[in-house]
Chain A
Amino acid sequence: MVDDDPSIVAVVSDILIAEGHEVVSAENGAEALAKVNGEELVLLDMRMPVLDGWGFAREFRASGKRSPIVVMTAAENARRWAEEIGAEGYLAKPFEIDALIAAVERYATGTH
C-alpha cells in the first residue's frame, strides 16, 4: 500500500495482516515503484509528495505490471480519479474496515 499518512499506513497494515495478507508499504509513489515486486494488489493514495498517485500509476503500467490498483483518497472525486488512472476500484476515505477487506479480497484474488 502507498500512502503518505503514517497512521493510515499503520492501521491498514494491521487490519490486512490480521486478515492474513502480506503488506509492503511505501509513503510515496517513488518509494513504491522501488519496492514493488509482483504484489497482488496496489492500494494507492493519490495526493502524495515526490511522486503522486497519477505518476505512480503511469510508471507502474509503463513497466508492464498488471496488478490491480485500488485508489484510496479523501478527495471527493475518488471515482473519477480511479477512472483517470485506469484503476480497478476505489475506496473513499474514511472507509469502513469491511469495505477495505472486501475490496482487497475482490481484486486480489485470481491475479498474480
Chain B
Amino acid sequence: MTALELVSLLTQAIFVLIFLLVGWSVLRRPTRTSVDIALFFGAIAIAIVESRVVTTFRLPQVELISDVVALLVIAMPYLLLRLVDDFSDVPIVIVRLAEIGLLLSAAAFIATEGTIPPPLLLPVVVYFAALSTYCAIAFIRAAGRSTGVTRRRLQAVAAGTLLLGIAILAAGFTPLLPASLAGLPNGLTQVLALSSAIAYFVGFAPPQILRRAWQEPELRAFLRRAASLPRLPDTPSIVRALQDGAASTLGARATIGLIDLETNTLRFQDPHGVLPNEIGPSDYLAWRTFETQRPGYYPDAARAHPALASAYRAHGVRSLLIAPISAADKRLGALEAYTNHEPVFSEDDLDLVRLLADQAAVILESRALIDEAARVRAHEEAARLKEDFISAAAHDLKTPLTTLVAQAQFLERRAETEPSAPADLPGLRRIVREGRRLSSLVLELLDASRLEQGTLVGEREPVDLVELAREVARHDSYDGHRITVAADAPVVGSYDLRRIGQVLENLVENAVKYSPEGSEVRVAIAQRNGEAFIDVTDQGIGIPAADLPQIFQRFHRGSNVDDRRFAGMGLGLFISKGIVEQHGGRVSVESRVGAGSTFHVVLPLEAGR
C-alpha cells in the first residue's frame, strides 16, 4: 500500500466515522440540522463505501448503484448549502442558483450516461467549487459571530468546507491535465481531502476531550472574574456579567432569571423573545427547571414545549440548556443558555451549565450577604447619628439651663434670706440672656427636625432678595460691622420669605460673628440664566481647609472656632443648606484662614426644578 493509498484510506475512514457518529445522533434526536448533517456525510460515506466494496471485492460495477452514488456526490454541495442555512440564513437567490446548478449537473450526468466530457465537466467543477467557497465563507462568518466552543467548531467546519472545495477543484481539473502531470494534483487532492475530513470530524463530532479543552480557557476566564463579581455596584450588573460569562463559556447566549419571593415570579433581565420578563408558575421550561431543581437539555425547544413552538421558531431559539441556580435549599433562580442553531450543545454541556449556575449562586449569595451587611451598617450608622444628635442637642440645651437653674435658685434664696437687699441686676440679666439662648436653641432644633421631615419650607411667594438682604443688613445687632448689599437691580424669585430670610440672617450673622469689629460684610446679589446668586463675603478668621467639607454638617464648628464664645448649636449652616436645597438651590463656600470666607448661595428663580 502506498502512502497515498494510506492517506486515501484514512480519509475515507474518517468520513465514514463522522457519518456513523452523526447518524447515531439523528436516530436519538432527529432534528432538521442533524438530518442535514447526516445527509451530507451520508452521501460522502455511501460513495466511499460503494467504491471500496467494488474495488476490494472486484465486483462488477452495478450501473444503477454507481449512478445513484454519482448523483449523491453531485448533490453534496447542495446538501452543504442546506447545512449552512441551518446556521445562518442563506439568501433565497443562492438557494435557487444551487438548485439550478444541481439540476443541470444531474441532467448533464444522466444525458451523458455518466461520462461527462471534459468541456462540460469544467462548469460542473466550477459550480462545486463556487458553492463550497460560498459555504466556507458563510461558516467563517458564522464563526465570527459566535464565541467559545461554537466558534471553534464553526471554524473547523469552515476549514473542512474550504479544503473540500479545493480538493474537489483539484480533482475536477485532474482529467483536464496531461497524463504526465496527473500525479501531482492527485496527491494534493488526497492530502486536502484528509485535512478536510479531520476538520469536519473536529467540527461536527468533536470528541469530549476536545470540547473540554475548548471550554477550559473560557471557563477559567469566567472563574477568574467570579471573585470580583459580588463587588459590582448592583445585582443587575452582576447578572449581566454572569450572563456574559456563561455565554462565552458555553458558546451560546444566556439569560438569568431570579426569583422574586413576594410575587413568586422569575424575573429575567434580558430574556430572549420567547420568555417574558417575568414568569410565574407555568409550563415554561425555565420554570419547570426552577420548580423541579433539575437541569434540562432541550436540543429542540419547539418540540419540548409545543405550545410555544412557533414563538421559539420566530425568535430563532433552537436549543436550550437550563440549570437551576440554588444555594443549599434556597432556590434563587434559573440560568438558561440558548442558541439559534442546534448542534452546539450536547448532553455533556449539562454538567458545565450546572457548574456555571452553581457559581452564579455563590456569587449572588455573596452579593446578598454584602447587601445585608451594608444594610445593617447603615442602620447602625443611622442609629448612632441619631444618638449623637440627641446627646449633642441635650448637652447644648443643658448649658444655658445650668445657669438658669442655679441663678434662679440663688436669687430665690437671696430673696428669702435678705428680702430687703437690692435686686441682683447682673443675675437677672443672665437669666434673661440664657433664657433667650435656650429658646433660640430650641427653635434651631425644631428647624433641624422639620428639615429632616421635609416640612421646613412652606408656601412660596414672590420675594425680592435684594430688598430682603437690605432688611437683614439693617438689624441693629450688626452695628459693629459695615454690612453692604451690592445689587444692580431687584432679584425676584418664588421663595418661602421667612426661610430665605433665615438663610440670609444666618450667613450675615456668621460673617459678623467670625470677623473683627468694624470690618465689612458684603452681600452681593445678581441673577443669571434663571438663577439668583447670593455671595456673602467677610474679612474674618476664615475656615481651615480641613473643615470646609464638614462645614454644612450638623453640629460642626470650625476647629479654629473658640467654642462657647460663639454661642449656637452648630446647626445654623446645616439648616440654611437644607432650606436652600428644598428650594432647589445649592450652597458652597470658599475660604482662606486669616483672610475671610465667601458663602455662595444659588437659588432657582422659579419654583420646581
Contact = CB atoms under 8 A, between A and B. Distances in A.
A11 B564 CA distance: 16
A27 B405 CA distance: 21
A100 B406 contact: yes
A8 B404 CA distance: 9
A94 B427 CA distance: 17
Contacts of A14: 407, 410, 424, 427
Interface in A1-25: 4-8, 10-12, 14-15, 18
A4 B564 contact: yes
A47 B427 CA distance: 24
B426 interface: yes
A74 interface: yes
Interface string B536-573: 00000000000000000000000001111000000000
Contacts of B449: none
B563 A7 contact: no
Give the interface size bracket for A toward B.
20 to 34
Interface stretch (B108-116, B392-400, B577-585): B392-400
Contacts of A74: 394-396, 398-399, 402
Interface string A12-50: 101100100000000100000000000000000001111
A98 B362 CA distance: 67
Contacts, number: 75
A12 B427 CA distance: 11
Interface string A86-112: 000000011111001000000000000
A94 B409 contact: no
Given A4-B563, A11-B403, A94 B410 contact: no
A4 to B, nearest CB: 4
Contacts of B395: 47, 74-75
Interface string B411-440: 001100000000010110010011000000
B237 interface: no
Contacts of B410: 11, 14-15, 18, 97
A5 B564 contact: yes
A94 B391 contact: no
Contacts of A6: 564
B309 interface: no
The B interface is mostly helix, strand or loop, or mixed, namely: helix
A76 interface: yes
A12 B406 contact: yes
B401 interface: yes
A75 B396 CA distance: 9
B559 to A, nearest CB: 9
Contacts of B564: 4-6, 27, 49
A94 B404 contact: yes
Q: Which of B395, B399, B410, B413 has the most CB of A within 10 A?
A: B399
Interface of B: 391, 394-396, 398-407, 409-410, 413-414, 424, 426-427, 430, 433-434, 561-564
19 contacts: A5-B402, A5-B403, A11-B427, A12-B406, A14-B407, A14-B424, A18-B410, A18-B414, A27-B564, A47-B563, A48-B563, A49-B561, A74-B398, A76-B391, A93-B401, A94-B405, A95-B402, A97-B409, A97-B410
Interface of A: 4-8, 10-12, 14-15, 18, 27, 47-50, 74-76, 93-97, 100
Task: Please give me the 5 A-B residue pairs with the lowest Cβ-Cβ distance, nearest first.
Answer: A74-B398, A94-B402, A93-B402, A7-B403, A94-B401
Given A12-B406, A74-B394, 20 more contacts: A4-B563, A5-B564, A7-B407, A7-B430, A8-B399, A8-B403, A8-B406, A11-B403, A11-B406, A11-B407, A49-B561, A74-B398, A74-B399, A75-B391, A76-B391, A76-B394, A93-B402, A94-B401, A96-B409, A97-B409
